[in-house]
Amino acid sequence: MNNKTLLALLAVLVVAVAYLGWKSMSIPTPGTSADSNGGITLSTSPNPLRLGQATFMIDVKDKSGKPVDNATVSFDLNMTAMNMGTQQGNATSQGNGRYSAIGNMSMRGPWRVRTTVKMPDGSTENKDFTVNVP
């Protein structure tokens, strides 16, 4: 094997490693948020959503990644592109930093879930999610 072949092999290897690294980057699944340490994340049941009743699970963590149980979590739900009438209320604490809320997905398409979290220290955090009913 001469130097040129070795160089070509090395180049192929570098490209392959770069490609694999890019492929393995986490891509958020529909209905979830990519945050892992701290903040507000959302998941849905069913996932993917379908027409009818849906449960939204809102997970609240502090900056160090610890679940926050004594927060007040409210949500409102509407479609992103049209006003279907806002569904809103407080989410119910399930323990371990999880709060759940029920919504009625009355139409296919993109919906916005707006969460407002009053932390035990008095601060408020907002986060919007877009979920899709396929």
Task: State the residues that interact with Cu ion by CB under 5 A.
Answer: 79, 82, 84, 107
Q: How far is the CB of 116 from Cu ion (least distance, A)?
A: 23
Q: How far is the CB of 82 from Cu ion (least distance, A)?
A: 5
What is the edge-to-edge ordering of all strands in the sheet holding 39-45? Answer: 39-45, 52-61, 98-105, 92-95
In the bound state with Cu ion, the residue whose beta carbon lies nearer, of 79 and 117, is 79
Amino acid at the residue 43: S
In the bound state with Cu ion, the residue whose beta carbon lies nearer, of 51 and 107, is 107
Q: Residue of minimal CB distance from Cu ion?
A: 107
Q: Cα separations (Å) of 50 from 45, 47, 58, 59? A: 9, 8, 18, 21
Contact between 114 and 58 (Cβ < 8 Å):
no
Contact between 75 and 93 (Cβ < 8 Å):
no
In the bound state with Cu ion, the residue whose beta carbon lies nearer, of 111 and 129, is 111
In the bound state with Cu ion, the residue whose beta carbon lies nearer, of 40 and 133, is 133
Q: How far is the CB of 108 from Cu ion (least distance, A)?
A: 8
